[in-house]
A and B are shown apart, each in its own frame.
Chain A
Amino acid sequence: MSTTVAIIDYGRGNVRSVANALEYCGADTIVTADPRAIDDASHIVLPGVGAFGDAMAALQSRGLPEILHRQVFDKRKPFLGICLGMQLLADRGLEHGEHAGLGWIKGEVVRLEPGADALKIPHMGWNDVVVKSVHPLFAGVRPEALTFYFVHSYHFRAGQSDTVLATCDYGGPFTAAVAKDNMVATQFHPEKSQDSGIELLENFVKWNP
């Protein structure tokens, strides 16, 4: 069966590069907010950059939380969240006030703290990732290739440690990837992480949970 990835378009972020990278991995892609197109797809990617509350409002105005819920929980399609698309899975986000998230993976999204080292915020650039458990997304990726491109000012504080798939260190450990059932999500941008990211996207396209 051929893989068609629906990349959810809610008017936020650079969805083109996500589509380009997935096509490079051999998948067909469709950038869409249309329920039928999403229903026809075998895989779902929720990308996104920008602010938490604004993005949730944009999803809601298109009726996407319900549409996606059905695809992920009833049809159990493989789902990948990227960056803000991972953060939105949390119960709530504390960026510019408090906003409810999708609530699919327990946790909340809080600001990175510059700490004693006066670290620059956003956390922007390439950083090493430590994978905590075996997951098809990271299958075959060599340990020395686990360096990915991040750009974010907030992070996902997981409510249940068993959903934390990978961590990264920036003034202390933070969640770099979460996973639960047919959902997986990364704080970093695989579509911008050269060969390391492409390997992850290839794994996602092949994933059949």
Chain B
Amino acid sequence: MLKRRIIPKFLLRDGRLVKYTRFFDHEREAGNPVSTARVYNDYGADEFIILDIAPSEESRRKVLASIAEISAQVFMPLTVGGGVRSLAHITDLLRAGADKVTLNTQAVRAPDFVKQAAQAFGDQCITVSIDYKEVSPKVFRVFVDGGRERTAYDPTEWARRMQDQSCGEILITSIDRDGTSSGYDVDMVARLNEALDIPLVVSGGCGGLQHCIDAFSAGASAVAISSLFLFTDHSPIKLRSHLVSNGINVRASKSSRN
């Protein structure tokens, strides 16, 4: 049976890992991306997501160099994104060793770009990343440009549209919950799981093992985790054994050799 996935997700700014609360507050330094990827590979994380949040030329070069270094040492799927605006940029990321590329702002600016990218590189290669916020009670809107710009789109409606554009996977991030450790937005997970035929990765708010169980129970294919791993003593190993003992179908352990 297909396993639910545990995915460490990291933000990169000028070559360093960083972590915020609700996208902008309380910047914390979180280390070197290559050594961190190696650690999570050893912990048996199922995949790895890296998003560049300072999409300058300089930062882009550093990300490409990091991806090349990570993919030479770590043999798990790598999803990379942040500031991706062109097919040429996707090609650069894939050549460096990325397996999947996330599109976010550009998907809103030019929805056809998602379809073009999916046709050029395969559906499975294109993940659409959706950041959203509750703008008034029970009203949710997609935000782009790193959470700075509000759009007119409801996240569920937008996710379906992106599925119709042939992306292979949706990554959703609740800006309200990001970095708060208050738990995933399970209502949104349930709604999207119902609406989508493609896999859903949920991000934003994981602060404890139970939060992952809640997200999987609501239908998430994968959980993306940063704070829980970066700033507590929880690791994918501990999370995995907790999930297994709660009946969630994840890889039992890393298949390490003796």
Residues of A within 8 A of B (CB): 13-14, 16-17, 20-21, 23-24, 49-51, 114, 118-128, 142, 144-145, 147, 149-153, 169-170, 189, 191-199
Contacts and interface: CB of A to CB of B under 8 A. Distances in A.
Interface in B95-110: 95-99
B64 to A, nearest CB: 11
Interface in B123-151: 123-125
Contacts of A145: 255
Nearest to A146: B255
Given A20-B71, A24-B75, A125-B3, A153 B123 contact: yes
B256 interface: yes
A192 B3 contact: no
B208 interface: no
Given A124-B124, A126-B2, A153-B123, A20 B72 contact: yes
A147 B3 contact: yes
Q: Secondary structure at chain B's binding surface: helix, strand, loop or mixed?
A: loop
B169 interface: yes
A127 B222 contact: no
Contact of A125 (B122, B199, B256): B199
Nearest to A198: B75
Given A125-B199, A144-B252, A194-B255, A14 B98 contact: yes
A123 B95 CA distance: 23
Residue of B97, B98, B99, B252 with most chain A CB atoms under a 10 A cut-off: B99
Contacts of B94: 13-14, 16
Contacts of A195: 254-257
B221 A142 contact: no
17 contacts: A16-B94, A50-B121, A114-B197, A122-B198, A124-B221, A144-B252, A149-B46, A151-B77, A151-B124, A170-B2, A191-B75, A192-B77, A193-B76, A194-B41, A194-B76, A195-B254, A195-B255
B44 interface: yes
Nearest to B4: A125
Contacts of A170: 2
Given A24-B75, A126-B3, A49 B97 contact: no
A198 B74 CA distance: 11
Contacts of A50: 121-122, 125
Given A23-B72, A195-B257, 19 more contacts: A13-B122, A14-B98, A20-B97, A24-B75, A49-B125, A50-B122, A51-B122, A121-B197, A124-B169, A125-B2, A144-B252, A145-B255, A147-B251, A149-B46, A149-B77, A189-B77, A194-B41, A194-B76, A195-B256
Given A17-B97, A49-B121, A194-B41, A122 B199 contact: yes
A199 B257 contact: yes
Interface in B1-46: 1-5, 41, 44, 46
Given A20-B97, A126-B46, A126-B251, A193 B75 contact: yes
Contacts of B68: 16
Contacts of B122: 13, 49-51
B196 interface: yes
Contacts of B73: 20, 24
Nearest to A48: B122
A93 B94 CA distance: 25
Contact of A123 (B2, B46, B125, B222): B2
A94 to B, nearest CB: 16
Residue of A123, A124, A150, A193 with most chain B CB atoms under a 10 A cut-off: A124
A195 B75 CA distance: 8
A193 B76 CA distance: 6
A7 B252 CA distance: 32
Residue of B44, B72, B200 with most chain A CB atoms under a 10 A cut-off: B72
